[in-house]
Amino acid sequence: MDNIYTDLAVERREMYTEGKDVEIEGVSVDILEMENYSVTRIEVLNRNGQEIMQKAIGKYVTIDVPSLNVADQDLKDEISKVVAKEIQGMGYNKDDSKVLIIGLGNWNISPDALGPKVVERVLVTRQYFVNYNKEYDETVANVAAMAPGVMGITGIESMDIVRGVVDKIKPDLLVAVDALASRKMDRVSKTIQIADTGISPGSGIGNKRMALNKETLGIPVIAIGIPTVVNAATIVNDTLDLILDSLKEQAEQGREFYNLLDQLSEDDKYELIVEVLNPFMANTIVTPKDIDVTIDDLSIILANGLNIALHPGIDLKDVNRYLR
């Protein structure tokens, strides 16, 4: 189903393996099921896996948390620690690493404001290293952060801004945070993806710009995102699937109507939905009505995870006490 857009590697895998007892050649998968969440670690190993997944070769970690959008404080703290562990598991940051955190997105539009809001809450320390001429501190890492905005606000490509800052301050690692798009409404605001393959700014709202990755910036790029929107056609498609399943149950197997429903391919069905919707809802994306509050909560979870992962002397108690 190449026509259905998603930023999530786990959904790309699901679309290929759905209904099949087969794994994608060139892709390794490890799934950890916990009480409140699950972690799916996918690694695209070669070009075959890349072509099928439509994802660059590299590692993709998906943290699915069914109650993330309504999480209490204990669950928020638990997921922050999981995020920190998975960021550290990527293996790119050390205690003496210089890190630049980029919050991508439009701070004026709630579903696209995740990146800027995370930047507001991360612990920035580079100024102390510069002012005191320090190279290393056993408690905190050398961290800078910025939200470059979007071209519609600044008139400048995010890539040009980020590349200029990278060239100036020369970080060892870039962490990019952005809103993503999902193909399933039940993953919106409930899934966190961490990848070491970089990111294309604006992907969550269908407006991809030049990618931020190791090839374009010359340093490792960890991308962190949460889906905040879903395409309207995807919602209609999922609804139609439920309707067709119900009709199939009621239709007599072998009859013409049953065969018609059974032979309708996923691609044909999706293309038909897009064609019908286009005159009325072209490129429409949907987000939950309480997204403003949800984005605030999600940004705290990601910021806390980053603070714990990057700063060797900071734990959850510290971020909850001082970094609200």
Q: What are the counts of helices (DSSP H) followed by strands (DSSP E) for the chain?
A: 13, 9
Q: What is the DSSP letter of 192?
A: E
Q: How far is CA 199 from CA 56, 186, 202, 305, in A?
A: 10, 23, 9, 19
Q: Which two tokens stand for residue 20?
A: 């099949």
pLDDT of residue 285: 67
Q: Per-residue pLDDT tens for 137-149?
A: 999 999 999 999 9
Share of residues in the chain with pLDDT > 90 (%): 62
- Cα 210 versus chain centre, distance: 17
pLDDT-based confidence at residue 320 (cuts at 50, 70, 90): confident
Q: What is the DSSP letter of 96?
A: T
Quick one: which H or E segment has residue 304? helix 291-310
* Most confident residue range from 22-31, 75-84, 179-188: 75-84
pLDDT of residue 290: 84
Q: Per-residue pLDDT tens for 158-213?
A: 999 999 999 999 999 999 999 999 988 889 999 999 999 999 775 544 555 688 99
> In the predicted model, what is the mean pLDDT of residues 216-237?
87
pLDDT of residue 207: 55
List 225's β-bridge partners, or say none: 178, 193
pLDDT of residue 104: 95
pLDDT of residue 294: 93
Q: What is the DSSP letter of 212?
A: B
pLDDT of residue 195: 98
> Does 281 score more than 70 pLDDT?
no
Mean pLDDT of the chain: 86
pLDDT of residue 273: 62
Residues sharing a CB contact under 8 Å with residue 176, sequence separation 6 or more, in sequence order: 101, 102, 104, 115, 198, 199, 201, 212, 221, 222, 223, 224
Amino acid present at 287? T
> In the predicted model, what is the mean pLDDT of residues 214-239?
86
List 38's β-bridge partners, or say none: 33, 64
Q: What is the DSSP letter of 41?
A: E
pLDDT of residue 164: 97
Residues in the chain: 324
Contact, 141 vs 130, CB < 8 A?
no
> In the predicted model, what is the mean pLDDT of residues 120-148?
95
Q: Which two tokens stand for residue 305?
A: 């995870």
pLDDT of residue 5: 75
Q: Per-residue pLDDT tens for 38-56?
A: 999 999 999 999 999 999 9
pLDDT of residue 73: 93
| 165 closest CA partner among 150, 147, 153 | 147
Q: Are strands 142-146 and 173-182 parallel, antiparallel or unpaired?
A: unpaired
Query: What pTM does this model have?
Result: 0.85
